[in-house]
Structure 1
Amino acid sequence: MPPDEGPMYVEAKAVDGAGNARVTTTAHTFLVADGRAPKAGWSLGDPRGSAAASGIGETPDALPGRGVTFGSEGPLGPTDVAASFDGSADAYLESAQPAVDTSGTFTVSAWVNLPERPKDDLTLVSQDGTGQPGFDLGYDVDTESWTFRVPVTDMETMGTWKVSGASAVPGSWTHLIGVYDSHTGMLSLFVNGDLIEDDVQARRTVWKADGPVQIGRKMAPDGYTANLKGALADVKLYDRVIPEAEGEDLGGVSATQLGYWALDEAAGADSPDVGTGRPLKLANGALIYRQDDSCDPGLDPTCVPASPPLWGDGHLALDGAGGHASREAGLLAPEDSFTVTARARLASSGGADQTVFALLGASGSAVDVTYSATADRWQVTTTDKDGGSVTSTASAPGVLPSTGGDGDHLALVYSAVFGDVALYVNGTLALKVPWDNAWDFTTTSLQVGRTQKGTATAKPFAGALDEVRVFRGALDAALIPTVAGLPAGSNVEDTVT
């Protein structure tokens, strides 16, 4: 199956029985169009007070129970709309007819936002059979993960074929795609556009469910169950496979820039946010370096021009004696994904360990990005909770930290959904490690140029730091190089989608 839309080609070469290959290769170019539109879909963007969820195209409307409210904020922000489900037995939408043949190839997708970590199974979308649903896309409390499952038969006691993966993050929009490919017989699950590669399973029995689509609940022999408590948007069902490239497009989560400090200027002890956010506070001798343009070798051959800033019109200059910049707590969500980026240039390698940035709690640091003098590498250190123990310390192999030029662009990406943290150096993935933590990130402050040990500054940075950005959400790997090369002062939200 073609992996994506666009022009493709096939090359062929003739080889005879003696193994002699024809010199000339024959090529054939062809065009792969977009996949077929959904067989059924509901945007769930209906205005508050609507009597039904309007179907997309020829899809019939879905009628709500009393536990459904239209007009909630959707996955794309205040201008987007979703439907809210209160978790009661009346929290559902029901269509008038089936949408897909569950014995053949099909795909189901939806956006979901849960207010809390579920204590029971939840269903986002299902399609009725006689005694069991033909499929169930939702949350499985036993594995504490998102799940796409298909019952073995239309009977209760025969079990299910299922694929599971990734965690539910309360208060964060998550996109799910469940796929059954009848040609390969395999079930797969995408979470936020990423295929759960370690859990692609075979479906070994096939049967057809002919009942209506249920949104927010699933059928059981004694009635409906697994009613959803949360918000839902953009439910779609396809009679085809969603390949990996299309899954990334459908489920890629937009990152929201929460703060950007170009570090080009200072007003007293503050270096302002390029947007409307709070400034970074400069302390202990930290200062903004700007190039002195008074030297003109054409007029004075003895003068030596000052060196240019690290990036843009200025940078944060630190001498390794404790100077730093900070932004108080309250920037991040309690447990959602985030990305922090900065550009760093060491004054010299070796010597002592030095911190580029850290997220600091009341009694310890959640995560530090540092220069390790022993390893002569950039390093990431994580802890499990405030005041807890170190869970991992990992160095970026093969990347020598820079002491000249534009320095190194460092991007720390935490995925709460997949429970890992990654470090990108100059746009390239350098390391990725698991991070199982119980941090409330709303309590962490952003420290630039230091971490802390007790109340004392630890691992102070010596050199230049610049272009500090914080995002809500895990930036996609393909976007990290774009962010690394953004001109100083540019609006990243015009570029990152």
Structure 2
Amino acid sequence: MTTGTGVAQAADNLPPKQPLVQDLETGYKACATGDERTYVAEPPVLGAVLHDPEEDNHPSEANMVKGEFEAWWTDAEGVEQRLTHTTFATLSGGSQRWHMREGSVPPNTVISWRVRANDGEATSPWSSEGDGTVCEFVYDDENPEKATISSPEYPENVFWVDGVGVYGHFTMDSPSDDVVSYTYGFIGGPYGTVRPERPGGPATIPFLPLDSGPESLTVRAIDRAGRSSGQSTYDFYVKSGRAPVAHWPLADAKGATSADAEAGTDAVAGSGVTFGAPAPAGTKLTATATLDGSSHGYLTPDAPAVADPRKSFAVSAWARPAETGRNMTVAGQDTGESAAFALGLDARGESPDWSFSVGGATVSGGAPESGEWAHLLGVYDAETGKAQLYVNGHETGTRAEAEPAAIAGAFQIGRVRDGNGYHDRWHGELGGVRVHDRVVVPDEVAKLAHREPSLRGHWSLETAPDGASPDESGGAPLKLGPGATIYRVPDGSCEWWLDPDCTPPPQPLVGDGHLALDGKTGHAIAEGPVVDTSDSFTISAVVQLADREPERPMTVLSLPGEHTDAFKVRYQPEQHAWQLVMPHKDERGAPETVVARFARADGRDGIGHRVAVVYDDATDQVKLYVDGQTGADATADLSNGWRASGPLQIGRARTGDGWGEYLHGDVDEVRAFAGALPDRRIP
């Protein structure tokens, strides 16, 4: 009320607000009752957020309130037991907690609780009154029993069981009826948690072995209170992946009219098939078949290769298209008057893609190029229901949900069935067609697609008789130009390890000698491009700069075309880094891809740096390595390398109409490979 002088008088104190059920917690879990009640592994912390009205006679931030908790249960004799707890007063809106002590409540008994707020003068209604409800929990003091594990595909401790790429199904169960989940882990993964359909029930997980050898599954059962059982271990032994059910190398003799099958049934060849074509370099294939793209360019065993397209399978082949402007089929299988699946080239988009179609789903990706080999592999995984596509050993595109047909018709190479006839005929070379009746796992895909790099030159630069340092692989020597010499430790040098007054001479970078370049005209060349820079290649060298603070860029390796270099590796002093520069065309001023790797110039104080350039045409990626290391700044996408025409250059690069960027320093152990070396094999 208000006095005649206008001074406000204290209003009557209002009772605290009734605690809301949504503001209550049992063991930091939401308040629940009945079948949803909380199970805890130890006497819990009960929590509540309590409020005093803002209309009380002092500012709301000064309102103090405490909680009055009450818990009760019925004991074994049927007698109700109660516990109470009152907290210290804290600010309105704060959390009040009751830390229940060990032994305060019995285990395996339904405990009910509620709370009300007290501001020192009045109390709120109980949280259970009106629209509220009690909270319930059960204190579980027993761990669940260990889980049992079984698998029909991979029985325990049996030597050896099929195999890599074949799913196993592992069922875990526990005698305890309150288990709500199982945590599991295989050696190296996967790891996870699975829940049974009902508490205490079994749960089954699939597992796809990726490697052969001993394998182990560990499982723990988890009950409603979060208690864990002891660990169960299940050991099993995985065989290597099954061989293909069908395999046609297509390396038959010229004039053959059918393709011999290393597995499955021989494939009859149409008159548009010619055997004896070249095989992709670096593979185990010795020859391939050319299909002319006509209605006679096909091969078929006239029988299914995939017995049931609804089960897991994989189809793969080496393919070199003669054109990319139309749809073409590498391999597939009939189902009635259509195709159960097809692997091939899709030219319907803005640019051509490799594709794998199965059960109405298509996965596409990669970049087919005329006259260029690619390894293709399509997988249908019946466990996941998805189709996958690998190009040159790398998964591409987005996995797609597929619904395969049930009918298994004849397998086809070079054509696909559509309606009453065959279409999308292959024009180009094919080889190494395989069909597996299982999932082919990534490591296996990489092996099938592997092309072993071949050494095209190794110049150790120990000697240079008649001004040419020999290639240890028997190829063209490195011819030394003016300003280039082979350095070796001078004869008659003092034995510094015996004579303390002796100044030791500089040692060669590697072995007994290295190439020394004067930075003015010094260079060396190997006749011929040595490698095809439009295809995958690797070139490396050991290099040491003569100056600690170079004043200009200096090139150690380059391969020229008519107007510029297909690539060059140079030291750029402004960035204190080695750079790889790759122009996109053989034109002056063409756009360039440039990657770099930091390295200080050592001024002939140290052992030099190992630099390498790797172009992988399969992944359209280029990398620069310095001392065996690369990185994001030293890696770039490069979709179309072009073929250099000039000789390999050591110590200089194309500049304008002539040569420049001469290296002042030393070079050793130059190696050139056709093919992209993997990281672990970079010299």
- The answer to whether TM tops 0.5 is yes
* Distance apart, 1:416 and its partner CA: 2.1
The structure with the largest alpha-carbon Rg is: 2
CA contact (8 A) 2:251 2:285 kept: no
Residue in structure 2 matching 1:335, options 534, 538, 557: 534
What does the per-residue CA deviation read over 1:111-162, in whole Å, with 9 as the maximum and x for residues that have no partner? 2234x4433222111111223222211222233232222351xxxxxxx522
Residue in structure 2 matching 1:60, options 253, 259, 265: 265
* Distance apart, 1:320 and its partner CA: 2.2
Residue in structure 1 matching 2:630, options 424, 429, 443: 429
What does residue 260 of structure 1 align with? 458
* Distance apart, 1:313 and its partner CA: 2.1
CA contact (8 A) 1:145 1:168 kept: no
Distance 1:25 1:359, change over 3 A: farther
What does residue 210 of structure 1 align with? 408
Distance 1:31 1:406, change over 3 A: farther
What does the per-residue CA deviation read over 1:360-389, in whole Å, with 9 as the maximum and x for residues that have no partner? 111112222121211112212221101142
1: CA distance, partners of 2:384 / 2:609: 44
2: CA distance, partners of 1:204 / 1:96: 25
Asked whether 1:32 is paired with 2:238, we answer yes
What does residue 352 of structure 2 align with? 144
CA contact (8 A) 1:341 1:468 kept: yes
> What are the within-5 Å matches in structure 2 for residues 100-249 of structure 1?
100=306, 101-114=308-321, 116-141=322-347, 142=349, 143-150=351-358, 152=360, 160-168=361-369, 170=371, 172-196=372-396, 199-249=397-447
Corresponding residue SS for 1:247: helix
What does residue 274 of structure 2 align with? 69
Letter in 1 for 2:343: L
CA contact (8 A) 1:67 1:89 kept: yes
What does residue 142 of structure 2 align with? none
2: CA distance, partners of 1:305 / 1:334: 42
* Distance apart, 1:400 and its partner CA: 4.9
Asked whether 1:42 is paired with 2:264, we answer no
Letter in 2 for 1:51: T
* Distance apart, 1:472 and its partner CA: 1.5
Letter in 2 for 1:307: P
Letter in 2 for 1:73: P
Bigger Cα displacement from structure 2, 294-303 vs 131-140: 294-303
What does residue 416 of structure 1 align with? 617
Asked whether 1:308 is paired with 2:507, we answer yes
2: CA distance, partners of 1:78 / 1:190: 19
1: CA distance, partners of 2:482 / 2:214: 58
CA contact (8 A) 1:169 1:335 kept: no
* Distance apart, 1:21 and its partner CA: 7.0
Count of residue pairs brought into register by the alignment: 466
CA contact (8 A) 1:293 1:306 kept: no
What does the per-residue CA deviation read over 1:408-444, in whole Å, with 9 as the maximum and x for residues that have no partner? 2222111223322112223333321012446233x24
Distance 1:294 1:192, change over 3 A: farther
2: CA distance, partners of 1:402 / 1:225: 63
What does the per-residue CA deviation read over 1:333-372, in whole Å, with 9 as the maximum and x for residues that have no partner? 3732211111222224432222121121111122221212
2: CA distance, partners of 1:329 / 1:252: 27
Letter in 2 for 1:426: D
Bigger Cα displacement from structure 2, 13-22 vs 273-282: 13-22
2: CA distance, partners of 1:320 / 1:25: 69
TM-score using structure 2 length: 0.63
2: CA distance, partners of 1:301 / 1:429: 42
2: CA distance, partners of 1:463 / 1:95: 63
* Distance apart, 1:96 and its partner CA: 2.0
Corresponding residue SS for 1:200: strand
Corresponding residue SS for 2:538: strand
Asked whether 1:323 is paired with 2:522, we answer yes
CA contact (8 A) 1:132 1:151 kept: no
CA contact (8 A) 1:402 1:408 kept: no
2: CA distance, partners of 1:92 / 1:117: 17
State the identity %: 36
* Distance apart, 1:11 and its partner CA: 4.5
What does residue 173 of structure 2 align with? none
1: CA distance, partners of 2:639 / 2:377: 25
CA RMSD of aligned residues (A): 2.7
> What are the within-5 Å matches in structure 2 for residues 263-274 of structure 1?
263-274=461-472
Corresponding residue SS for 1:208: coil
What does residue 389 of structure 1 align with? 590
* Distance apart, 1:261 and its partner CA: 1.4
Distance 1:349 1:213, change over 3 A: farther
What does residue 155 of structure 1 align with? none
What does the per-residue CA deviation read over 1:78-108, in whole Å, with 9 as the maximum and x for residues that have no partner? 9813222222221110112111122221111
What does residue 355 of structure 1 align with? 555
Distance 1:79 1:217, change over 3 A: closer
CA contact (8 A) 2:257 2:270 kept: no
2: CA distance, partners of 1:385 / 1:137: 33
Distance 1:132 1:350, change over 3 A: farther
2: CA distance, partners of 1:280 / 1:361: 18
Greater RCO, CA 8 A, separation 6+: 1
What does the per-residue CA deviation read over 1:49-91, in whole Å, with 9 as the maximum and x for residues that have no partner? 333212223x111100001122333335798132222222211
* Distance apart, 1:266 and its partner CA: 0.6
2: CA distance, partners of 1:117 / 1:410: 37
What does residue 669 of structure 2 align with? 467
CA contact (8 A) 1:113 1:173 kept: yes
Distance 1:389 1:44, change over 3 A: same
> What are the within-5 Å matches in structure 2 for residues 81-96 of structure 1?
81-96=287-302
TM-score using structure 1 length: 0.85
CA contact (8 A) 2:328 2:424 kept: yes
CA contact (8 A) 1:84 1:230 kept: yes
1: CA distance, partners of 2:255 / 2:537: 35
What does residue 213 of structure 2 align with? 6
Unpaired segments ≥5 residues, structure 2: 1-207
1: CA distance, partners of 2:576 / 2:285: 47
Corresponding residue SS for 1:429: coil
What does the per-residue CA deviation read over 1:166-218, in whole Å, with 9 as the maximum and x for residues that have no partner? 43362x4432111121222322222222222xx23212433235211111111
Letter in 1 for 2:249: S
What does residue 282 of structure 1 align with? 480
Letter in 1 for 2:659: T
Corresponding residue SS for 1:245: helix
* Distance apart, 1:10 and its partner CA: 3.8
What does residue 450 of structure 1 align with? 652
1: CA distance, partners of 2:233 / 2:284: 50
2: CA distance, partners of 1:391 / 1:208: 52
Corresponding residue SS for 2:465: coil
* Distance apart, 1:241 and its partner CA: 1.0
Corresponding residue SS for 2:613: strand
Distance 1:210 1:347, change over 3 A: same
2: CA distance, partners of 1:91 / 1:474: 33
